[in-house]
Amino acid sequence: MHTQHSSAIVDAGAVIGEGTRIWHFVHVCSGAQIGKGVSLGQNVFVGNKVVIGDNCKIQNNVSVYDNVELEEGVFCGPSMVFTNVYNPRSLIERKSEYRRTVVRRGATLGANCTIVCGVEIGEFAFIGAGAVVNKNVPAFALMVGVPARQIGWMSQYGEQLDLPLVGEGTALCPHTQERYILSAGHIIRESIGHD
């Protein structure tokens, strides 16, 4: 069973997992699929063609529009923005042109960042506050700026790794001591027995 504030509107047909918390002035549309243990902060909107995985946290003032998919454990910071039409015009109907946006497991989308539709954010990537993402982001990448550019790599725990942007390298997460290997532009995490 989920909990919801009396001011929230959840349209009939929405699928909401156990333990999900829906706060003040939230609107969840009828076609939405929301997993277990999700937190929807104040003034969140969730569209019809939206999938939100288990244990996601969506902070205040975020609209998750149609064709956005959030995998397990995604963090959406306060007032961050998704789009679903690349070249919107008020006078031209473009609902048939919605682009799919996928945010992979464990990624963080910082406060006030913007995710331009049609991109994929890799697992455990970290998008800094205010960044504007207009292209695909590799797993574990640390992205900042307008437009967003990669400035480093982040561990699964959320600590910056001492690795070069390109080439080869090995680093330990300062918190967990897990080993991360950079090879051919990709990060490989060596698990130490827990996820």
User: What share of the chain in percent tops pLDDT 70?
Assistant: 98
What pLDDT was estimated at residue 191?
Answer: 75
* 144 to 69, 130, 141: CA distances (angstroms): 22, 8, 10
Residue 194 confidence (pLDDT) above 70: no
Residue 89 confidence (pLDDT) above 90: yes
Q: What are the strands of the beta sheet with 9-10, ordered from one edge?
A: 9-10, 27-28, 45-46, 63-64
Look at phi and psi of residue 167 and say left if phi exceeds 0, alpha if psi is from -120 to 50, else beta.
Answer: left
What pLDDT was estimated at residue 195?
Answer: 53
Q: Judging by DSSP bridges, how do beta strands 120-121 and 141-144 pair with one another?
A: unpaired
Mean pLDDT of 35-44: 98
Residue 193 confidence (pLDDT) above 70: no
pLDDT tens for residues 138-184?
999 999 999 999 999 999 999 999 999 999 999 999 999 999 999 98
What pLDDT was estimated at residue 65?
Answer: 97
What's the angle, vertex CA 19, arms to CA 43 and CA 67, rounded to 5?
50
pLDDT tens for residues 45-83?
999 999 999 999 999 999 999 999 999 999 999 999 999
Mean pLDDT of 132-140: 98
CATH 3.40.50.720 fits 3-89+98-158, yes or no: no
Mean pLDDT for the chain?
96
Instruction: Give the residue among 113, 109, 88, 107 at the shortest CA–CA distance from 98.
Output: 88
User: What share of the chain in percent tops pLDDT 90?
Assistant: 94
Please state the pTM of the whole predicted model: 0.95
